[in-house]
Amino acid sequence: MQKENILITGSNGQIGTVLSQKLIEIYGYDNVLTTDIGHIDNIHGRFEKLDIMDVGHFKEIIHKYRITQIYHLASLLSAKGEKDPMFTWNINLNGLLNVLNLAKDNNINKIFFPSSIAVFGETTPKLNTAQDVPLLPDTVYGIGKVTGELWCNYYSKRYDMDIRSLRYPGIIGYQSLPGGGTTDYAVDIFHKAVKHEKYNCFLEKDTMMPMMYMDDAIHATIMLMEAPKEKIKLKYGYNIAAFSFTPEDIYLEIKKYYPDFEIEYNPDFRQKIADSWVKSIDDSKAREDWAWKPEYTFEHMVESMIRHLRAIYKEGEPTLS
Ligand code: AKB
């Protein structure tokens, strides 16, 4: 069996932090290289500073570490991306094209591209949204994900490359903090509750969005990447789903653990982004093709988040990415 050497871009991010540790656990410390634009202390793996726009340096690193697989997580998220659309487009789309071209020319045998529910938009049916639906996103992040999926599909077919992709819903985990997304509130709210502080929510109380616990998101990623190639029928982002809820739903569930917990709703520009996305997802294609199934229910996720964050805060203020 060929020895795999895995490179992760954006490994300091919300998903990257956790996925890196999982990949090290599976493939071993010496077979995983974490990379990001800067270093942070809570990555416990081999690390190289890497700007994905610096193709020359990127190529050197691929050769130096004999990289065979790339998990390309580096990108700006939906809310932050709106601050400078051209900059976001450059990093998110041209960054992906750098990865695809380097992979094509340097014997990379597998690539992971994270897509998102941000591909959906105004013309997409909002409930139980199927795999193949109209996509007309309102954010530059969403445009980058739709276009990114199309490029992945193109490179897979044109150059016979093994590129795999998931459309992540909002991800909730205790191990890391998200930054710059629209679904971030669903992580922030836990930190406030555990610290006995009031939460100021940037969305309306009845804004329903698809979400997933971090453990399930990592599990889905590993399942997809380890599935036999013939099982991967879609060369673009697979829908995956776990549960959907509103800020009021999660507030009321957390209140069961913290009866004095208070929330205030002050929607800002992120409300429009959330409204343009869908409310629930049909992930039957992923279930059929590679046997995807989430483990965590909404209630189980809330219990687990609170249990872990209580333990983390007992040690003092957490040093999360
Ligand atoms: C965001 O809110 O931008 C991300 C996403 C859903 O892709 N969490």
Q: Tens-digit pLDDT profile for the chain (321 aa)?
A: 568 999 999 999 999 999 999 999 999 999 999 999 987 765 678 999 999 999 999 999 999 999 999 999 999 999 999 999 999 999 999 999 999 999 999 989 999 999 999 999 999 999 999 999 999 999 999 999 999 999 999 999 999 999 999 999 999 999 999 889 999 999 999 999 999 999 999 999 999 999 999 999 999 999 999 999 999 999 999 999 999 999 999 999 999 999 999 999 999 999 999 999 999 999 999 999 999 999 999 999 999 999 999 999 987 766 655
> Choosing from 65, 71, 141, 238, which is the catalytic residue?
141
Residue 78, helix vs strand vs coil: helix
CB atoms near residue 265 (< 10 Å): 17
Q: 159 CA distance to ligand 1 centroid (A)?
A: 30
Global pTM exceeds 0.75: yes
Nearest to 237 by CA among 155, 146, 123: 146
The yes-or-no answer on residue 159 being catalytic is no
Nearest to 32 by CA among 12, 51, 4: 4
CA-nearest residue for atom 4, ligand 1, is 181
Which string of DSSP letters, residue by residue, matches 12-62? TSHHHHHHHHHHHHHH-GGGEEEEESS--TT--SEEEE--TT-HHHHHHHH
**C-alpha angle 150-271-152 in degrees, rounded to nearest 5:** 10
Q: 38 CA distance to ligand 1 centroid (A)?
A: 22
Domains in the chain and their CATH numbers?
6-169+213-239 (3.40.50.720), 172-210+242-280+295-312 (3.90.25.10)
Which residues does a 6 A CB cutoff place in the pocket of ligand 1? 77-78, 116-118, 141, 168, 170, 181-183
Q: 182 CA distance to ligand 1 centroid (A)?
A: 6
Cα 288 from Cα 239, distance rounded (Å): 12
Ligand 1, residue 141: give the atom nearest the CA: 3
Cα 275 from Cα 283, distance rounded (Å): 21
Are 118 and 277 spatial neighbours (Cβ–Cβ below 8 Å)?
Answer: yes
